[in-house]
Amino acid sequence: MAQLKEIKSRIQSVKSTQKITSSMMMVSSARLVKAQRLIQNLYPYEQHLYRILQLLSAEEEEEINSPFLQARTVKRVAIVAFSSNTGLAGRFNEDISDELKKTVANYISLGKENIVLYPIGGKVAKAMGKIGIKPQGDYSNISENPSYANAQKIAGELMEMYRKEEIDRVELIYHHFLTKGTQVIVNEPFLPIEPVIPDEKKYVANYIVEPDRKTILTDIIPKILKVKFYTAHIDSVTSEHAARMTAMRIATDNADDLTETLTLEYNKLRQQSITNELLDLIGGSFL
């Protein structure tokens, strides 16, 4: 009987946990729908802005006087890594931490004092602490709710540091959302911008540009950088919701399987107990 009570208690515990994982899965699913809609609208906008930069850069005869296009020897680097504040999202945060460690290792020859880290998320902030480099600030309060105003502020700070030559390179580390079941780690340069000459360069001459290409490029480059930072943040949050939804769905399915296994074991023991009682009764009737 004691064993039956123990199994029954385990079944109730698993079912209680299953209710929690199921609720978390539904919450993450609802948040994913909202974030996915936003990233699907924002990502093409970012791509088109960058395409304008490519087209105008390809046709510009004179050198564009923008500090954000000027590559230089890297003596000091800034790394921005995006994670979540909470766990229960599979390897979402661990993958970011691993990529961060690899990136820091690539620049460790510069000296830790020349590696500037921006943690957008509590989990990656802890990982930075373990590396032994003090983060530039605490951004955990904005990591779960990306806004253009916050992205503009951080991107503006990085741009100003780059313009003053306080840093020579900026890299972004985040998850890129592909599907609900697939998110990939992205490690890409943020500064300097390296526009690629497009194949359709021959068609640029058909555009009428006012007031002139140089003025537009000077104005559009800071905007592209701010939108890029904002897009990366939303991409990370979208991936987080997808990863957590998947993890909670797997946990819920596992709870179902465990409940079935425990219920089968409970029924077998109960049937065995009833059989033993019947045998005792039958055996007693012959005495």
The model's pLDDT over 153-212, given as tens digits with 9 standing for 90+, comes to: 999 999 999 999 999 999 999 999 999 889 999 999 999 987 655 555 544 556 677 777
Q: Which domains does the chain have, with CATH numbers?
A: 25-246 (3.40.1380.10)
**213 vs 162 pLDDT, higher one:** 162
Q: Model pTM?
A: 0.86
Q: Residue 192: which of 213, 169, 211, 176 has the closest Cα?
A: 169
Exposed e or buried b per residue across 39-59, where buried means at least 16 C-beta atoms within 10 angstroms of its C-beta = beebbeebeebbebbbbbbbb
C-alpha span between 109 and 157 (Å, rounded): 25
Name which of 62-66, 120-124, 198-202, 265-269 the model is least confident about: 198-202
Rounded-to-integer distance, Cα 217 and Cα 62, Å: 12
* pLDDT given at position 91: 92
More confident residue, 62 or 264: 264
Q: How confident is the model at residue 62 (pLDDT cuts 50, 70, 90)?
A: low
- Residue 284's pLDDT band, with cuts at 50, 70 and 90, is low
Question: Angle at Cα 115 formed by Cα 111 and Cα 120, nearest 5°?
Answer: 155
Give the pLDDT score at 56: 76
Give every CB contact of residue 240 below 8 A, 6+ residues apart in sequence. Answer: 84, 89, 92, 175
Averaged pLDDT score across all residues of the chain: 87
**Segment (H or E) for 245:** helix 213-285
Q: Which helix (H) or strand (E) holds 161?
A: helix 148-163
Its sign, for the CA torsion 250, 251, 257, 260, is negative
Integer-rounded Cα Rg, in Å, for the chain is 28
* pLDDT over threshold 80, residue 79: yes
In angstroms, the CA 37 to CA 91 distance is: 24
Residue 250 has pLDDT above 60, yes or no: yes
CA 140 to chain centroid, in Å, comes to: 13
**Cis before 189? omega within 30:** no
Does the pLDDT value for residue 67 go beyond 90?
no
Chain centre to alpha carbon of residue 266: 42
Contact 117, 101 (CB under 8 A): no
Number of other CB atoms surrounding residue 151 within 10 Å: 22
Q: Tens digits of per-residue pLDDT, 6-56?
A: 888 888 998 999 899 999 999 999 999 999 999 989 989 988 888 888 777
The yes-or-no verdict on residue 261 having pLDDT over 60 is: yes
Q: How confident is the model at residue 58 (pLDDT cuts 50, 70, 90)?
A: low
